Amino acid sequence: MQTIERRKTNRVGLRWHLRLSGGTIGAIQTRTENISNLGFYCILSHPLIPGEALDCELSIPNYGSLGVSRSIVCKAEVVRVESRGAQPGFGVGCRILDFTLARNRDSLNGSACSA
């Protein structure tokens, strides 16, 4: 059976460090699975609630020699939560509501990720 594509925009398979915080999760770190101009998808160990508001920080990898680390700081809304079947964790799709580009407060690039 063929799956019908419902996405409104293209996604890029970027695995960027991601810090999430909100009412039901506290503060956690994970990585994105993909990113679009409207949002991102990540894997978490616990499900979130669709409609839940999150504060997020996406760490942009620094591939240049300038030594300037940047991040996208945003407000997001959980729009989809799905079980991953036999795989551990839950897939979580979030819509970005508002964002700013900022210098990183502290580097996520050396941190352990714990979803």
Task: Tell me which residue has tokens 């729009």.
Answer: 79
What architecture does CATH give domain 17-103? Beta Barrel (2.40)
pLDDT at 113: 41
Among 14-18, 43-47, 96-100, 111-115, whose mean pLDDT is lowest? 111-115
pLDDT of residue 110: 41
Which of 40, 60, 76, 41 has its CA nearest to residue 109?
60
Each domain of the chain, given as residue ranges in start order, spans 17-103
101 burial (CB, 10 Å; 0-12 / 13-18 / 19+) is exposed
State how beta strands 70-83 and 90-103 pair. antiparallel
> Shortest CA distance to 97 belongs to which of 74, 69, 63?
74
